[in-house]
């Protein structure tokens, strides 16, 4: 259930990147989610967390109003992946 919610949230964040909405609440949530992912993966001994890095970049992009080309595509793909994994488990 949590993966489904986080997947839907990733898709909403990706859409807001495409539409160039500057939504601070979504940016803060994406940044916190990415930092949590990066920190928890480092603690586990996994030093290369691309999904957490994508969340951090999306959060910074939303907060500062930056436009990073094709970042929205990775965020939406990550959202669909999370939704598919929520149904698989």
pLDDT, tens digit (0-9, with 9 covering 90-100), for 17-26: 888 776 888 9
What sign does the dihedral 14-52-25-89 (CA atoms) show? positive
| Residue 15 φ/ψ region, left for φ over 0, alpha for ψ in the -120 to 50 degree band, beta for the rest | alpha
70: left (phi over 0), alpha (psi -120 to 50) or beta: left
User: Among all chains, which residue has been given the structure tokens 């992946």?
Assistant: 81
Total residue count of the chain as it appears in this document: 89
pTM of the model: 0.88
Q: What is the pLDDT of residues 37-77, one digit of tens each?
A: 999 999 999 888 899 999 999 999 989 888 888 999 999 99
**Which residue carries 């990073």 as its tokens?**
68
């Amino acid at each position: 259930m949590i993966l489904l919610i986080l997947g839907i949230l990733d898709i909403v964040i990706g859409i807001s990147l495409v539409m160039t909405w500057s939504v601070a609440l979504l940016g803060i949530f994406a940044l916190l989610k990415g930092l949590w992912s990066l920190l928890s993966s480092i603690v586990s001994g996994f030093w290369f967390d691309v999904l957490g890095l994508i969340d951090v970049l999306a959060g910074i992009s939303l907060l500062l109003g930056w436009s990073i080309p094709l970042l929205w595509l990775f965020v939406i793909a990550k959202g669909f992946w999370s939704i598919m994994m929520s149904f698989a488990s």
